[in-house]
Structure 1
């Protein structure tokens, strides 16, 4: 069997690289293994590479390389998800190189090791290959925008593997993937090259990135209690990161400079674990917990926070280590002192840690992967005989708000029954709506169907083969959306569902849904220099009970508010007239954004003002209002005036503009010119 790992780079240092190499080296005992490294930024890998493993770099980004001069290198990627953290590092050249590599690949299994590369696997892996995505972080770690982009790619995999069962369960609950097996297989840690700790030392050891989520300040503060009670014990923290200076200052502030030492990065780390009598981890969250297993494999008992998700699946509390609440300084101190003061307990846990951690040996973990490969291989072979589907459809909005989606071509022969339209949206959870196609190839989304607010993807699914294809738009008739206001029921929620073609996704048919229990619908916006007049109507089960108030809230700092009085117009209308010089004078960044709300009653929370009830999906570029340019306010006005008079420097200006956000809500921005 040939197994291909697709990794960002094999030439760096990191947990994903290390665990990939552990698995690849063990697989190389029985299989052909290649590691496809998208980037090569240095001559040699930081880790020793097993000569049995073939390393295939896609792009050479070393100084002076020809790849850096390729015109495609400067063009943004199309196949790589835009919400992925490393999106800006990818390009059309990476798209093309990875596609070309797998177009002629004979790999039996292809494994993607980060979200963007999982998308590459879903798009480019050979049709007969088993397609596997690995999750080295957690579901909750990823932004909703990335989860939304990844849904269709994860849905195209044979298996999606997390490193903890807790995280796998979250994926199953929040993003159901009917055609993809979601399971947990832990990372592997090889047997240390040093003898286990003899437990005779008086050192507590911790290791990992000095990053905020590791919460080393909790460990340092806990050790202040330990040092006061047991001054002959010390704490060593190994690693580097942006929290080093802050930790150093806290150590000095607590007077622990003789007891707590920042040791810097160390590789290999096993000899340092073996020096310890106790190991500690105080992370806020962990996807797995490699350092826990490393310490335990060196025969060191662990004190760890019981964070999501890894520690509780690695440590048996009271057997091979102790679990304590996240962020609880006193609990960490008590656990450390318990092991310090009870040598028999400490030695018993050390022996159990060394024994129990053997379940993470590469040989044991690799057998789980091999069993998965074998189970999925037959399914992948059958998939090669199933034709892919690339549906194209027309979509019409009826006056009553229902949507009719009609395929532009007949269904594949033999699949006329069981085809359905699938609409999905991924946020905190993945939501799904399904509608059957009739014999004519039409599916109807009924009027009044409840879609939560946001962007929905549209697929066609053939139930018989469990294949799914994104629907491309041919003609989208949105005229029925012009009647959205007429369809509102008195006292009912405000809803609108508008189909559109997304050219950025290759002409995909998409749905934009709005659903608000109470809504302030914007009408006219008049701009006369710095004077702005904004009017609209309150909709839903609410009523204006006093003279309405306009509230502008600074984006990112909602406690910063500017309030303007308004007038009630008729029964449900409102109108505000205000000067944009006020938010301009309150500017604190080079680009301030103020969101607009209306307070319609003293006892009710304010609601956003937006324009939702028509056929225009994205109003930002359509409803454009004049902007106002004014002199920028200066805090040190006298000094600046003197400087201008003496040096002749012009005063800087700002532009103030009312506009619609991506969600079609009213906002105002103040931007330096």
Structure 2
């Protein structure tokens, strides 16, 4: 005969209060204003902003991130639903990152988001340098999806071109703008920080183009910045940088192989890189464990 065993009582589940149903985003959530940007070969920018539907004067405001300085440009209607502002190359925009806003009448500025950026004219750009300086403005999308303009104003300017990375030597080619390349020209490979004297490198080439070599085996551990002395010691000291294209931040995009060698300061690993300001530097790391690698800002 089969005996039925009583089922033990089940523990009572705690009561769970009903959860609120998530609310849908409001249908009328404000859409941030958008700006399409067109760059010209002279260094100017045009901003086409979507119409906000509000009346009154409108301004496109560029605000420098470091110190809050502002440049305001009037926005004028150009077509139905579009407002336009122009930043000519002749209007100075000091170096830095300029966040873009639209300000309506006396209201608070609204952050702009990027639309279409037409930067084709910046590719392989070759300014004359006749004004003694080179102005570069590159609009880009920040990591938060907002519109910012990266600006450089170099007077004079040494543009880094092709880099040939060898086993013991880095060959640098470039072009200088805004100053003549004289017979006394040379390059400086300067240690960042510390009291070590910079190394000199002979400059050759047909002005305004130049070339020089950076000997890895003479460099101690650390970061070395590259400079051009186009008129010798008595003239300006010009930082080498790569600015004349459409890439606002090159550090993570332009990467170069590392050379491993034994130099005057022992076994090292060396490679060129572009800084957060798109200036050209060389990082040298000791291959024996001597602490953390130098910071490459």
- Equivalent positions of 1:125-140 (< 5 A) are none
* Counterpart Cα distance in 2 of 1:421 and 1:398: 18
Asked if the contact 1:396–1:478 (Cα under 8 Å) also holds between the matched residues in 2, the reply is: yes
Equivalent residue in structure 2 for 1:571, among 183, 207, 220:
207
Q: CA separation in 1, counterparts of 2:124 and 2:161?
A: 15
> Is 1:490 equivalent to 2:130 in the alignment?
yes
Corresponding position of 1:544: 181
Mark the CA change 1:489 to 1:537 in structure 2 (over 3 Å): closer, same or farther.
Answer: closer
Q: As a proportion of its length, which structure holds more strand?
A: 2
CA contact (8 A) 1:547 1:565 kept: no
Question: 2:64 aligned to 425, 437, 440, which one?
Answer: 425
Deviation at 1:441, TM superposition (A): 2.0
Question: Aligned equivalents of 1:398 and 1:508: distance in 2?
Answer: 22
Note the C-alpha offset of 1:474.
2.3
Q: Deviations over 1:201-239 (max 9, x none)?
A: xxxxxxxxxxxxxxxxxxxxxxxxxxxxxxxxxxxxxxx
Question: Cα deviation per residue 1:325-377 (whole Å; 9 max; x = unaligned)?
Answer: xxxxxxxxxxxxxxxxxxxxxxxxxxxxxxxxxxxxxxxxxxxxxxxxxxxxx
Q: Name 1:480's counterpart in structure 2.
A: 121
Call closer, same or farther: CA 1:416–1:557 in 2, change over 3 Å: farther
Alpha-carbon distance, 1:525 to partner: 0.9
1:631 CA displacement: 4.1
Report SS of the residue matched to 1:430.
Answer: coil
Can you give the 5+ residue segments of structure 1 that lack an aligned partner in the other structure?
Answer: 1-386, 636-652
Report the Cα distance in structure 2 between the residues aligned to 1:399 and 1:579, rounded to whole angstroms: 36
Answer whether contact 1:461 1:467 (CA < 8 A) is retained: yes
Quote the Cα distance in structure 2 between the aligned partners of 1:475 and 1:623.
24
Alignment match, 2:102: 460
Equivalent position of 2:36 in the other structure: 394
Cα RMSD (Å) of the superposition? Answer: 2.3
Structure (1/2) with the larger helix percentage: 1
- Give distance in 2, aligned partners of 1:615 and 1:558: 36
Say if 1:554 and 1:400 are closer, same or farther in 2 by CA, change over 3 A: closer
Equivalent residue of 2:161, what SS? strand
Check 1:578–1:441 CA distance in 2 against 1; reply closer, same or farther (3 A cut). Answer: closer
SS at structure 2 position matched to 1:480: helix
Match of 2:258 among 614, 627, 636: 627
Q: C-alpha separation between the residues in 2 aligned to 1:634 and 1:393?
A: 52
* Per-residue Cα deviation, 1:271-312 (whole angstroms, up to 9, x for no partner): xxxxxxxxxxxxxxxxxxxxxxxxxxxxxxxxxxxxxxxxxx
Partner Cα separation in structure 1 for residue 131 and residue 36 of structure 2: 34
How many residues end up aligned between the 2 structures?
Answer: 254
**Higher Rg:** 1
Shift of 1:557: 2.5
Aligned partner of 2:279 in structure 1 is 665
The answer on 1:500 being equivalent to 2:140 is yes
Contact map agreement 1:419 1:436 (CA 8 A) in 2: yes
What is the CA distance between 1:400 and its match in structure 2?
4.1
* C-alpha distance in 1 between matches for 2:55 and 2:39: 24
- Cα distance change of structure 1 residues 525 and 434 upon mapping to structure 2, 3 Å threshold: same
C-alpha deviation, 1:654, in angstroms: 2.9
Report Cα offsets for 1:366-390 as digits up to 9, x if no partner.
xxxxxxxxxxxxxxxxxxxxx9772
The TM-score normalised by the length of structure 1 is: 0.36
Flag the structure with more relative contact order, 1 or 2, with Cα contacts below 8 A and sequence separation at least 6: 2
How many angstroms does 1:553 deviate by? Answer: 1.2
After TM superposition, list the pairs within 5 Å mapping 1:294-443 onto structure 2: 390-408=32-50, 410-412=51-53, 415-427=54-66, 429-439=67-77, 440-443=82-85
What's the CA shift for 1:425?
A: 0.9
The answer on whether the counterparts of 2:167 and 2:261 sit within 8 Å (CA) in structure 1 is no
